[in-house]
């Protein structure tokens, strides 16, 4: 009479459910790297400047995969490399990530310039469309808009 452990949720609130998937200090940084920096490999995430430990990075990548936020594939031209990419569910985090960025930039001292923040706030939809377009085209270039760096 064994029953499944059935990973229990704290509640049915969407915010709570979201936080159970990405509510930690690393997951969204990986999503950011994939979404706007064009990073694709373990090594790139590792060297992204935030200082993740490799075991934590590995665990987060697995969790993001198991929750359907990212997907993986072995690199065609280098069998050692694993290429990570955002799924639809993953790219759908773009609005939340952008709002988090705007909030942080507005209330703390960060690398983002005031001009960049103003631009992001004013052209929110255009920026999101750009992010989505690059994702669709599998465009690995870091995000720019009108030839300017928009992302810190």
Partner DNA sequence: TAAGATCACTTGCGTTTTGCAAGTTAGATT
Partner DNA sequence: AATCTAACTTGCAAAACGCAAGTGATCTTA
Site for a second copy, rule CB under 8 A: 10-21, 23-26, 28-29, 32, 49-51, 68, 89, 92-93, 95-112, 152
User: DSSP H helical segments within 33-123, as ranges?
Assistant: 42-46, 54-66, 88-91, 94-107, 114-122
Of the two residues 82 and 128, which places its CB atom closer to DNA in the complex?
A: 82
Of the two residues 16 and 78, which places its CB atom closer to a second copy in the complex?
A: 16
Q: Which of 3, 5, 11, 55 touches DNA by CB under 7 A?
A: 55
Residue 101's binding partner out of DNA, a second copy, none, with CB under 5 to 8 Å set by partner kind: a second copy
State in angstroms the smallest separation of the CB of 6 from a second copy: 13
CA distances from 2 to 6, 7, 137 (A): 11, 15, 46
Can you tell me the distance from the alpha carbon of 115 to that of 150, in angstroms, rounded to the nearest whole number?
9
User: Cα 36 from chain centroid?
Assistant: 8
CA distances from 92 to 14, 74, 100, 152 (A): 15, 24, 14, 21
State in angstroms the smallest separation of the CB of 62 from DNA: 7
Q: Answer yes or no whether residue 11 interacts with DNA by CB under 7 A.
A: no
């Amino acid at each position: 009479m064994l029953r499944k452990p059935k990973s229990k949720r704290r509640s049915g609130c969407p915010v709570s459910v979201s936080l159970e998937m990405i509510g930690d200090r690393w997951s969204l940084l990986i999503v950011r790297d994939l979404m706007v920096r064009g990073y694709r490999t373990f090594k790139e995430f590792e060297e992204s400047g935030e200082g993740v430990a490799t075991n934590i990075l590995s665990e987060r990548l697995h969790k993001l995969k198991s929750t359907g936020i990212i997907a993986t594939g072995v690199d065609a031209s280098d069998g050692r490399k694993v290429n990570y990419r955002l799924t639809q569910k993953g790219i759908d985090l773009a609005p939340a990530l952008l709002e988090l960025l705007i909030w942080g930039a507005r209330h703390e001292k960060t690398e983002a310039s005031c001009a960049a923040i103003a631009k992001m706030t004013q052209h929110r939809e255009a920026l999101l469309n750009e992010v989505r377009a690059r994702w669709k085209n599998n465009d690995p270039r870091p995000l720019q808009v009108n030839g300017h760096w928009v992302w810190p």
